[in-house]
Amino acid sequence: MTTATVAVPKAAPKRETHSSQVKMSTRGVKVFYGDSQALYGIDLDIIENEVIAFIGPSGCGKSTFLRCLNRMNDTITGCRVEGDVTLDGNDIYAPSLDVVLLRAQVGIVFQKPNPFPKSIYENIAYGPRLHGLAKRRAELDEVVESSLQRAGLWGEVKDRLDQPGTSLSGGQQQRLCIARTIAVSPEVILMDEPCSALDPIATAKIEQLIDELSASYTIAMVTHNMQQAARVAHKTAFFHMGDMVEVGDTDKIFTNPRDQRTHDYITGRFG
């Protein structure tokens, strides 16, 4: 096969990872919306403290798969998931599992920033209060500040914590949503096209943040932007028509893919 022509950008080097510990694992994951099948048996291991990007043509099932990882598909009427998904070896579809707790452990950030209609402070404080992570006001203040710090937003909002979250710019709102996810001490952060509603400067900030956050969290993100996958992801998985065609080191997927479909997609022949 000829070498792909998509240039892997000369971005700042990604944070190096050394773990080979599997954080999440899926085996034979199939998803149905009513009678229509969207995923056909996905086997994937997600390694701790890595960023993995899911790429592929529109409608191939990337978001559906992402939602399997914290049972967000449970909220869609008529959606059925089969197969095994584990977090640290534990079945996340076990009947006894507390789904609210799972969604704190495996948080999700959506395409469009969706702050609660509350103050900046309350956007962050809500989750820790719900999960009993901070009992006194001083503890809560600390969680709010450290979450905003980690999301790179503290300096911009520390003097206006009582203002509505919706008063922030789109990029700031997205970092607020990331801070909200961090506030409940997740282990994995899912991101569904987190930059697609943002301008290039806000996008660059989020990409930088993703790299920093991967030191503490495992991150799986859906992106339509192959350059973005090349910039931020250690691993990339290519999806096509409900199958995961291949997964591997991002550089390898973009320069020397194994499968002709991956090659055709990254060279712009379809999608």
Ligand X SMILES: Nc1ncnc2c1ncn2[C@@H]1O[C@H](COP(=O)(O)OP(=O)(O)OP(=O)(O)O)[C@@H](O)[C@H]1O
AA letter at 243: D
Candidate segments 2-10, 51-59, 175-183, 245-253, binder of ligand X by CB under 6 A: 51-59
Candidate segments 60-68, 126-134, 135-143, 165-173, binder of ligand X by CB under 6 A: 60-68
> Rounded to the nearest 10 degrees, how much is the dihedral formed by the CA atoms of 218, 108, 119, 133?
-60
- Candidate residues 60, 144, 188, 191; the one interacting with ligand X per rule CB under 6 A: 60
AA letter at 94: A
* Cβ atoms of 253 and 4 closer than 8 Å: no
Q: Tell me: does residue 7 bind ligand X (CB under 6 A).
A: no
- Shortest distance (Å) from residue 132 CB to ligand X: 33
> Rounded to the nearest 10 degrees, how much is the dihedral formed by the CA atoms of 259, 41, 69, 54?
20
* Phi, psi for residue 149 in degrees, rounded to 5: -60, -50
The DSSP symbol for 164 reads: B
Q: Tell me: does residue 82 bind ligand X (CB under 6 A).
A: no
- Candidate residues 23, 62, 103, 205; the one interacting with ligand X per rule CB under 6 A: 62
Q: Tell me: does residue 184 bind ligand X (CB under 6 A).
A: no
Assign 117 to helix, strand or coil: coil
Q: Which is nearer to ligand X, 76 or 130 (CB)?
A: 76
* Cβ atoms of 194 and 221 closer than 8 Å: yes
Q: Which is nearer to ligand X, 38 or 176 (CB)?
A: 38
CA separation for the pair 65, 26 (Å, rounded): 10
- Shortest distance (Å) from residue 191 CB to ligand X: 13
Q: Tell me: does residue 63 bind ligand X (CB under 6 A).
A: yes
Q: Tell me: does residue 59 bind ligand X (CB under 6 A).
A: yes
- Shortest distance (Å) from residue 261 CB to ligand X: 14
* Cβ atoms of 244 and 41 closer than 8 Å: no
Q: Tell me: does residue 76 bind ligand X (CB under 6 A).
A: yes
Q: Tell me: does residue 218 bind ligand X (CB under 6 A).
A: no
Candidate segments 8-16, 57-65, 98-106, 162-170, binder of ligand X by CB under 6 A: 57-65
Q: Tell me: does residue 38 bind ligand X (CB under 6 A).
A: yes
- Shortest distance (Å) from residue 57 CB to ligand X: 7
- Shortest distance (Å) from residue 83 CB to ligand X: 15
Q: Tell me: does residue 33 bind ligand X (CB under 6 A).
A: yes
What DSSP line would sit under 60-114, residue for residue?
Answer: SSHHHHHHHTTTGGGGSTTEEEEEEEEETTEETT-TT--HHHHHHHEEEE-SS--
The DSSP symbol for 3 reads: P
Binding site for ligand X (CB under 6 A): 33, 38, 56, 58-64, 76
